[in-house]
Amino acid sequence: MTKFLVSIIIISNLSLPIFSQPTVNGRLVEITNNGTIYVVKVQIATNTGLDILGDATIPFTFNTANIAYVSTTFINFSGGDYYTATATNSPPNRISLNIAIFNAAAGTIVSSAFMDVATITFNTINSTGSSNLTFATPLEFFTPTSIQWNNGTFTGLNTNPLPVELSSFAAKTIDKNKVKLNWKTETEVNNYGFDVERKSNVKGQTSDDWEKIGFVNGNGNSNAPKDYSYIDNNLVGGSKFLYRLKQVDNDGKFTYSDAVEVEVLPTQYELSQNYPNPFNPGTTIKFSLPRATQLKIIIYNMLGEQVATIADGMYESGYHKVNFNAVGLSSGTYIYRITSDSFVETKKMIVLK
């Protein structure tokens, strides 16, 4: 009997699961940063994505010379099953987010993707200083049964309260085929400049088909409004164009503006002189269409013999270009002709090898 009981105990002991607590990670995410108000989110995630958060203490410190704490809004852990509070501690640059669960059977599962805990609002005191917003210790997270989770990686912020604040950005047509962009900043910190990017309504383009078309230098650091402009005189790709600004800091960090759209519709059919000309081996031919048109562009030698077709199909209204590669052709003068139901025009090009 004794041996039988011992064997049962051994079997039961071997069948116990090996249990380890989840690892929790945290980060601070900047939401609003306009030189007056500074708002960040506190977010957490676990490596399992399956565990309910019980109680938690989430302390952090910040630079009181540059930002001042205003308020906290808890998001996923407030009300219902939780009691939440924000405690200001000593020293004054430290505060804590405190969470306590009421109903252990109905708490919130912390996902494996970062989820919101709270938003924290600060007032900006020094518009050129650093926030130094950083998680502090001890960081404590518990199950509903008061078993402590493991702490993983917690990422703080060390950003300037005052970024480049873009107050306006607009586009308008000037002349027959140019677009002027105007924008204004209210304040700037560490502003290297702006990449100007464009996207057209050419069929087949996706949301990622942005093209850099220019660069405008920034003013570095400024608390005064600054005006900027850029003229796009190389329209190609249809009649509707989207523009956005990529603001680049001196350290390489960047942010994008919202996009603005402008429509530039040609008033007449036009075939432009190829460029470069003379050329070897490649050149570009541009043409404009006031409406959608079925057309062909054919290259001929001086004997009238067809040597290439570089465009054949339906093109939307707007501004277009095609590229021609003269590899295989000898030096000399050639003719290129655009032909459609409404428009025929011919120009010369020179291949020089």
Which pLDDT belongs to residue 204? 53
Which pLDDT belongs to residue 89? 80
175 or 324, greater pLDDT: 324
Examine the pLDDT at 3 and tell me if it is beyond 50.
no
Nearest to 332 by CA among 285, 283, 279, 274: 279
Examine the pLDDT at 123 and tell me if it is beyond 90.
yes
Per-residue pLDDT band at 20 (split at 50, 70, 90):
low
Domain assignment present for residue 11? The answer is: no
Classify the phi-psi angles of 238: left when phi > 0, otherwise alpha if psi is within -120 to 50, otherwise beta: left
- Residues 51 and 141 both lie in one domain: yes
218, 243, 263 - which closes a domain? 263
Which pLDDT belongs to residue 11? 37
Strands 115-124 and 67-74 come out as antiparallel
Measured between alpha carbons, how far apart are the two ends of the chain, in Å?
104
Per-residue pLDDT band at 306 (split at 50, 70, 90):
very high
Are the CB atoms for 234 and 189 separated by under 8 Å? no
- Residues 33 and 151 both lie in one domain: yes
How far, in Å, are 10, 15, 249 from residue 3 at the CA level?
11, 19, 76
Query: 54 φ, ψ to 5°?
Result: -90, -95
Instruction: Rounding to the nearest 10 degrees, give the CA dihedral for residues 287, 289, 295, 301.
Output: -20
Based on DSSP, count helices (H) and strands (E) in the chain, helices before strands. Answer: 1, 26
Domain assignment present for residue 160? The answer is: no
Q: How far apart are CA 114 and CA 109, in angstroms?
A: 12
Q: What proportion of the chain, given as a percentage, has pLDDT over 70?
A: 91
Strand-pairing partners, residue 41, are 29, 119
Per-residue pLDDT band at 8 (split at 50, 70, 90):
very low
Strand-pairing partners, residue 346, are 337
Q: How far apart are CA 331 and CA 230, in angstroms?
A: 39
- Residues 259 and 275 both lie in one domain: no
Task: Give mean pLDDT, residues 18-27.
Answer: 82
Task: Give mean pLDDT, residues 96-118.
Answer: 92
Number of structural domains found in the chain:
3
Q: Which domain holds residue 199?
A: 165-263
Examine the pLDDT at 54 and tell me if it is beyond 50.
yes
Reduced to 3 states (helix: H, G, I; strand: E, B; else coil), residue 175 is: coil
Nearest to 159 by CA among 178, 176, 134: 134
Instruction: Give the model confidence (pLDDT) of 143-172 as tens digits.
Output: 999 999 999 999 988 776 656 778 899 999
- Residues 210 and 255 both lie in one domain: yes
Q: How far apart are CA 174 and CA 172, in angstroms?
A: 7
- Residues 171 and 274 both lie in one domain: no
Amino acid code (one letter) for 148:
Q
Which pLDDT belongs to residue 2? 35
216, 246, 263 - which closes a domain? 263
Domain assignment present for residue 1? The answer is: no
Nearest to 27 by CA among 48, 39, 38, 43: 43
Strand-pairing partners, residue 27, are 43, 155
- Residues 51 and 112 both lie in one domain: yes
Which pLDDT belongs to residue 202? 62
3-state secondary structure 230-268: EEECCCCCECEEEEEEEEEECCCCEEECCCEEEECCCCC
Per-residue pLDDT band at 310 (split at 50, 70, 90):
very high
- Cis upstream peptide for 278 (omega within 30°): yes
Question: In the structure encoding, which two tokens stand for residue 283, read together?
Answer: 């050149």
Per-residue pLDDT band at 293 (split at 50, 70, 90):
very high
Strand-pairing partners, residue 141, are 56
Per-residue pLDDT band at 17 (split at 50, 70, 90):
very low
Question: In the structure encoding, which two tokens stand for residue 17, read together?
Answer: 């699961």
- Residue 332 belongs to domain with CATH number: 2.60.40.1930
- Residues 202 and 251 both lie in one domain: yes
- Residue 174 belongs to domain with CATH number: 2.60.40.10
Nearest to 200 by CA among 140, 285, 262: 262
Quote the pTM value. 0.53
Instruction: Give the model confidence (pLDDT) of 171-222 as tens digits.
Output: 999 877 899 999 999 878 789 999 999 998 665 555 568 999 999 999 988 8
Q: How far apart are CA 286 and CA 264, in angstroms?
A: 15
332 or 33, greater pLDDT: 332
Nearest to 138 by CA among 148, 147, 146, 130: 148
> What count of Cα atoms within 13 Å lies in the side-chain half-sphere of residue 53?
32
- Residues 149 and 29 both lie in one domain: yes
Per-residue pLDDT band at 115 (split at 50, 70, 90):
very high
Which pLDDT belongs to residue 166? 83
- Residues 228 and 282 both lie in one domain: no
